Structure 1
Amino acid sequence: MVLATVLVLLGPGLLKSLGSAGGLLPTAECVVETSEGEIALDRDEAQLATTAVALRARGMEAPDTTSIDEAVLQRLADGPPGDAGPSLSCRGSAAQDLEVQQLTATGLTPRAEQLREAMTEVFGEQSLGGFAPGGVDQGHGGDSTHYDGRAIDVFFRPVSEENRRQGWMLSHWLVAHARDFNVQYVIFDDRFWSAHISRGQWHDYDAPAPSNEILRHLDHVHVDVLGGDAS
């Protein structure tokens, strides 16, 4: 109770210093690494920030972000200095009571189709793959969620610094909205995020062929949704 009172009195400046001092906010839903240190966000703030940044990048009208620290918005828009990479992470949480779904006409399950529509609304038309009407049964690993219609690949080709930063902008948005759309995994640029890992950090992704840009997910963001109780 005392700590809560102090936080209210001293405001977001203290939150920033706590976040950068060895991660003293273990219950933060999301964290953005900025030039000013780690800044904690709740889920709504992370969703607002990632959506606004994506819309502004397209020259579209964006929601009001005056409540969000400018350092957060700048980092999400520009990425880390020097090299593209993850800046935002959110805690993972996988729903346990979902029904198993069948393919829709697009070749995606309703959950995956809902996610595709939401991505299009924010990011516009994208270069997509990994699914097809009637489903796909080859071109991916043996247990791939693509075969269940639960996975979408969003391509950012050719592999370049700018395209990697665009891929991370999408990846951050997906992680911030993971609970709303039952996202299970996001894989991009040699890193992955999982709803099954509650701490929510990005982890190194060990591709089966380290020299293969596609298998390392350097040229595309892979996102899949939870499959339900039987998955």
Structure 2
Amino acid sequence: MSQPDQRKNRRRRRPIRLVSAFLVLLGLAGYFVVQYESTGGGGPHCTVDAAGTSHRMSLEQAQHAATISAVGVGKGMSDRAVVIAIATAMQESDLRNLDHGDRDSLGLFQQRPSMGWGTPEQIMDPVYSAGIFYDHLAEVRGFEQLPLTVAAQKVQRSGYPDAYAKHEAEASLMTEAFTGRAPASLTCSGPAPQRKGDPEEVRRELVQAFGAGAAPRIGAPGTAGAPGSHGQAVGSGGSTEISLAVNGQNKRRGWELAHWAVAHADELGIQRVSYDSKAWLAGLNRGAWVDKNPGKGGDDDPRNSGPADVRIFVTR
């Protein structure tokens, strides 16, 4: 091929390369826009926003805070007890389930097997470790009237007893959300969960954290569940529903369950949650709750649940 012909061919290929490069850049830009919209900026995270203040945390931290609160609720502990427990775990482990620590300390509360807190396997179970913390706290006479540092120290016997106080404000804010006192105050952003959800796994986790009274029954529509609740499995565009019926007058109970489900969405493959005229959809709306829009979609659309239903959809 002559040199003029070679130059002509190179000129013909340049526009094709430029168009291809532009399409690649356009695709990348679209990807980052979607990621930004789903996360609200930054990586996946959860935020509690109530009483004019907010606290941001990782998905893991939100899961553990929700578990600590649920165990306290299940044991009939007060909100003050939940604040003390969450603040203690923030100081001891930064709300992470650590498999190491000072000497043989482990888990959320850095409990030591050698000091009678349980076996390593037990302590590494967040439900167990939160439960035994509450058991010890309940033995502290008048703990609800004590300063947080004093109450926590009587349980933990830490070498740094004054350190718990710095977490009280954030722990109080999280308690507002996870005990249901602040409706729709928890947002969790990030892409929709990639793992498939298992309704039975969600059921087990609910019962383990809250107790048998929170158990949904997974079966045909209209089946009866545990006292005060019922459940059903319903196909919905690639998801399966677990529906929890709670007392319509007890909005706080409903929001406890709804916020727990949102905090555990990534871990359990939960796609959608709805309650009390609000809906949360994984990967959309920057993780925020949105108003339901009755009349759109079928009967299994999460925006169309009744006022007394907490509805949880898992990815199929």
TM-score scaled by structure 2?
0.48
Contact kept, 8 Å, 1:93 with 1:198, in 2: the verdict is no
- Give 1:43 shift: 1.1
Q: Does structure 1 conserve the Cα–Cα contact (< 8 Å) formed by 2:272 and 2:313?
A: yes
Distance in 2 separating the partners of 1:97 and 1:174: 15
Amino acid at match of 2:246: F
Q: CA deviation at 1:70?
A: 2.2
CA distance in 1, matches of 2:176, 2:295: 31
Equivalent residue in structure 1 for 2:72, among 26, 43, 56: 56
Q: Kindly tell me: are residues 149 and 201 of structure 1, through their superposed partners in 2, closer, same or farther at Cα, counting changes over 3 Å? A: closer
Match of 1:93 in 2: 191
Distance 2:75 2:240 in 1: 30
Residue aligning to 1:222: 311
1:155 matched residue in structure 2: 245
Are 1:41 and 2:62 an aligned pair?
A: no
Looking at structure 2, the residues matched to 220 and 94 of structure 1 have their Cα atoms a distance apart, in angstroms, of 23
Q: Which amino acid aligns with 1:150?
A: T
Q: Which moved more, 1:184-193 or 1:64-73?
A: 64-73
Counterparts in 2 of 1:147 and 1:55: CA distance versus 1, 3 Å: same
Change (3 A) 1:216 1:114: closer
Q: Return the offset for 1:176.
A: 0.7
The one of 172, 176, 179 aligned to 1:75: 176
Q: Answer yes or no: is the 8 Å Cα contact 2:70–2:210 preserved in 1.
A: yes
Q: Structure 1 residue 188 and structure 2 residue 204: aligned?
A: no
Query: What runs of 5+ residues in structure 1 fail to find an aligned partner?
Result: 1-24, 99-109, 138-143
Find the structure with the greater CA-based Rg.
2
1:20-35 counterparts in 2 under 5 A?
Answer: 26-27=41-42, 29-35=45-51
- Aligned amino acid, residue 60 of structure 2: D
Q: Give the distance between the partners of 1:38 and 1:92, measured in 2 at CA.
A: 18
Secondary structure of the corresponding residue to residue 39 of structure 1: strand
Aligned Cα root-mean-square deviation (Å)? 3.2
How many residues align? The count is 173
Preserved CA contact (<8 Å) 2:243 2:309? yes
Alpha-carbon deviation of 1:193?
A: 0.6
CA deviation digits over 1:187-228, x for unaligned, max 9?
A: 11111111131611001111239xxxx94431011101111x
What letter corresponds to residue 91 of structure 1 in structure 2?
S
With over 3 angstroms needed to count, the CA separation of the structure-2 counterparts of 1:58 and 1:197, relative to structure 1, is same
Separation in structure 1 between the aligned mates of residue 70 and residue 173 of structure 2, nearest angstrom: 13
Distance 1:195 1:121, change over 3 A: same
* Counterparts of 1:39 and 1:149, CA distance in 2: 31
| Structure 1 position 149, deviation (Å) | 8.1
- Cα deviation digits, residues 62-102 of structure 1 (max 9, x gap): 8664216222233122513xxxx21111014224475xxxx
Residues of 2 paired with 1:147 and 1:43: CA distance? 25
- Identity, in percent, stands at 24
Q: Does 1:113 align with 2:128?
A: no
Q: Determine the C-alpha separation between the residues in 2 that align with 1:97 and 1:38.
A: 29
Amino acid at match of 1:180: E
In the alignment, which residue of structure 1 is the partner of 2:225? none
Normalising by structure 1, report the TM-score: 0.64
More strand by share: 1
Contact 1:48 1:65 in 2 (8 A): no
Which runs of at least 4 in structure 1 moved beyond 6 Å after TM superposition? Answer: 60-63, 146-149
Which deviates more from structure 2 when the two are superposed, residues 28-37 or residues 52-61?
A: 52-61
Amino acid at match of 1:128: P
Find the aligned partners of 2:171 and 2:313 in 1 and give their Cα distance. Answer: 31
